[in-house]
């Protein structure tokens, strides 16, 4: 089973992955981000992220064959990039948790890290796009296809081929976010085993 914890930059994905990894280990869940699976180039782009999504799907399928699960968090992987990956159909349904915060909180978090990678307005716009995308795979699909990988099966970007939830992290401390993500993951695992 794939558990995808995603969102734009500044939503807490990396922090939560580090926090929940030891908590979910006894449940057979491996928690990773891209750097655990692929080499990250100096300037990662949309096409690279989409090629890397295929590696995430393959890793989830490998774990699934041994009765284990994958929680991917830390990088802004769109669920449509999972669905559109060449091996996406073999994965079947998966669960998505969008970490989201209001614009002011996202801006504060990003600028608090130091220099912002790219213009801040693009990070905010990506967060806005993500909110629509988790409800509809085809929402403004040009965000994924305009400069994307030609191996992405864009024809699969329709409907909502995943189970989605949203967690507003605006007013939550990192520990509270980790608790909520852990509870969400356990619910998904119980449903998957049921």
115-154 per-position pLDDT tens digit: 766 688 888 999 999 999 999 999 999 999 999 999 999 9
Q: What is the distance of C-alpha 68 from the center of its chain?
A: 18
pLDDT range class, residue 112, cuts 50, 70, 90: confident
Tell me the CATH class for 2-193.
alpha beta
pTM for this model (two decimals): 0.94
Cα–Cα separations (whole angstroms), residue 128 to 98, 148, 153, 154, 191: 12, 19, 23, 21, 29
Between 120-133 and 103-112, two packed helices, what is the crossing angle to 10 degrees?
130
CB burial class (10 A; 0-12, 13-18, 19+) of residue 172?
A: middle
| DSSP 8-class letter at 69 | E
pLDDT over 70, % of the chain: 97
What pLDDT sits at residue 117? 63
* Digit-coded pLDDT (tens) for 52-95: 999 999 999 999 999 999 999 999 999 999 999 999 999 988 99
Q: Between the CA atoms of 183, 189, 192 and 194, what dihedral angle is there, to the nearest 10 degrees?
A: -80
Q: What CA–CA distance (Å, rounded) separates 59 from 70? A: 8
């Amino acid at each position: 089973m794939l558990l995808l914890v995603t969102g734009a930059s500044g939503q807490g994905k990396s922090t939560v992955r580090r926090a929940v990894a030891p908590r979910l280990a006894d449940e057979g869940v491996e928690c990773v981000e891209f750097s655990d699976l692929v080499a990250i180039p100096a300037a990662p782009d949309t096409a690279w992220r989409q090629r890397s999504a295929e590696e995430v799907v393959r890793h989830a399928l490998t774990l699934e064959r041994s009765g284990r699960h994958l929680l991917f968090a830390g990088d802004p992987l769109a669920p449509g990039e999972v669905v559109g990956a060449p091996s996406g159909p073999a994965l079947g349904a998966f669960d998505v948790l969008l970490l989201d915060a209001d614009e002011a909180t996202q801006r504060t978090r990003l600028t608090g890290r130091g220099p912002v990678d790219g213009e801040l307005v693009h990070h905010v716009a990506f967060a806005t796009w993500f909110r629509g995308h988790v409800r509809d795979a085809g929402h403004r699909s040009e965000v994924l296809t305009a400069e994307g990988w030609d191996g992405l099966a864009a024809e699969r970007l329709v409907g909502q081929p995943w189970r989605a939830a949203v967690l507003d992290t605006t007013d939550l401390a990192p520990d509270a976010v980790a608790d909520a993500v852990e509870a969400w993951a356990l619910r998904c695992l119980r449903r998957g085993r049921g």
